[in-house]
Amino acid sequence: MITIYSSPLQGFSDFRFRNAYQRFFGGIDKYIAPYIRVDGNSEIKRANERDILPANNSSIDLIPQLITKDAGEFLFVAKHVQNLGYTELNWNLGCPYPMVAKRGMGSGLMTTPVKIDEILTRVLAETDIQVSVKMRLGYENPREILQVLPVLERYPLANITIHPRIGKQLYKGEVDLKTFEECLGQTSHKIFYNGDITSVQSFREMKERFPSINNWMIGRGLIADPFLPAMIKADNPLYPENRYEIFNSFHDAFFSSWEEALSGPKHLLMKMYPFWEYFIQSFPNSPKGLKKIKKAQSLSVYREVVRQIIYNEGINSSK
Ligand SMILES: Cc1cc2nc3c(=O)[nH]c(=O)nc-3n(C[C@H](O)[C@H](O)[C@H](O)COP(=O)(O)O)c2cc1C
């Protein structure tokens, strides 16, 4: 039996996306929320707060995430999410963006395992929340993780997710499966594999290479092809017959949820465009679709372009 978690995507996988996704596609066991950052303030931002409110996540199983290099901040967020009823908090040691990493957070913290050790010692002594970790192989160098795993081995973590790239790569280049394999021999924690699963075929290849891994996390692949997790679970790369109707209903529900939240068409169109940069991968019959969405200045034009993209694909794929 395999487990699939939805990987956090700041700016994408907020509660509106998660709820619409869960309603129309499923296949996801748990969702990790995009990270909370408190940055010295003893305050959770309103957008973060809203994103993890149980009332906004009632149809899904959610795990909040934080990014920090400070045990006090960690404990503050842990207490806050515990008060909301959460029993697990995921710690981000993977964020690659220089603004974050250069300040010693996310993948930037991978270069100082001694700090990770100090933070975990204090956090796990002072809270009983379950801590899980999501990390890259390192920031500068993929060998950094081999210094971090022995530290993590000393703590009772819920699990560790590894995205086998280094921070400096951002999302470029290949995932380093050789180092990932080496990591498996260096830890007794439950490991989630994360990175570049974009089709049932690419999942099967990964599963064949790492048969001991039963836990998987998918991020971008799930936006580009929302049917992917359910197809992986069914071990069957066949889409439902009414694939485009389902997508259409999902899009309408998702769009409406943002329409209620944002004022004015401009904001709404700006919100939807980055999603279409992923969605469009499911619509090869509309090579100019993305450009048309970018050019849409009004909601009625946007709606018509989306209708055409979905209709084109449905018609052409049923021929
Ligand atoms: C736009 C964007 C935002 C992301 N935000 C987060 C985040 O908040 N927390 C996190 O741990 N990872 C974040 N990630 C990393 C993803 O969760 C995931 O680890 C990465 O995309 C690799 O998995 P994938 O190939 O399945 O997408 C983000 C990635 C992208 C592209």
By CB neighbour count within 10 A (0-12 exposed, 13-18 middle, 19+ buried), where does 171 fall?
Answer: exposed
Write down the mean pLDDT value for the chain: 96
What is d(CA 205, CA 310) in angstroms, rounded to the nearest whole number? 30
What distance, in Å, lies between the first and last C-alpha atoms of the chain? 36
Reported as a single tens digit per residue, the pLDDT across 245-286 is 999 999 999 999 999 999 899 999 999 999 999 999 999 999
Give the domain range for residue 295: 243-317
* Amino acid code (one letter) for 41: N
How much is the pLDDT for 318?
59
Cβ-Cβ contacts under 8 Å for 83 (sequence gap 6 or more)? none
250 and 226 in a common domain:
no
Quick one: which of 79, 87, 97 has its CA closest to 42? 79
Q: Which two tokens stand for residue 87?
A: 């029993």
For residue 270, what pLDDT is reported?
A: 97
Spatial separation of the C-alpha atoms in residues 268 and 254, rounded to whole Å: 11
Same structural domain for residues 222 and 249?
Answer: no
Residue 229 has pLDDT above 80, yes or no: yes
Residue 233, pLDDT above cutoff 70: yes
* Model confidence band, residue 308 (pLDDT cutoffs 50, 70, 90): very high
Ligand 1 atom nearest 218 alpha carbon? 26
Both tokens of residue 146? 């081999």
Co-location of 289 and 153 in the same domain: no
pLDDT grade for 41, boundaries at 50, 70 and 90: confident
Distance between CA atoms of residues 226 and 109, nearest Å: 32
> What is the percent of the chain with per-residue pLDDT over 70, rounded to a whole number?
99
* pTM for the whole structure: 0.97
One domain, residues 166 and 256? no
Q: Residue 112 class from Cβ within 10 Å (0-12 exposed, 13-18 middle, 19+ buried)?
A: middle
* 122 & 155 share domain: yes
Model confidence pLDDT, tens digit, residues 173-183: 999 999 999 99
Separation in Å, CA 184 to CA 166, 181, 237, 274, 310: 17, 5, 28, 35, 42
Pocket of ligand 1 (CB under 6 A): 7-11, 34-35, 65, 92, 94, 134, 163, 194-197, 218-221
pLDDT for the residue numbered 317 = 72
Closest ligand 1 atom number to CA of residue 8 = 17
- 223 and 261, same domain (yes or no): no
Do 296 and 216 sit in the same domain of this protein? no
The closest residue, in CA terms, to atom 8 on ligand 1 is 34
282-313 CB burial, b ≥16 within 10 A, e <16: bbeebeebbebbeebeebeebeebbeebbebb
CA pair distance 167, 32, nearest whole angstrom: 20
Task: Kindly indicate the confidence band of residue 79, based on its pLDDT and cuts at 50, 70 and 90.
Answer: very high
67 C-alpha to ligand 1 centroid (Å)? 13
Residue 98, domain CATH: 3.20.20.70
* Structure confidence by residue, pLDDT tens digits, 181-223: 999 999 999 999 999 999 999 999 999 999 999 999 999 999 9
Backbone angles phi, psi at 65, to 5 degrees: -130, 150
Sign, Cα dihedral of 143, 148, 150, 152: negative
Residue 159 pLDDT > 60 = yes
Q: Are residues 169 and 29 in the same domain?
A: yes
139 and 44, same structural domain?
A: yes
Are 254 and 163 in the same domain?
Answer: no
Q: Are residues 206 and 278 in the same domain?
A: no
Among the ranges given (30-44, 54-68, 72-86, 280-294), the one the predictor scored with the smallest mean pLDDT:
30-44
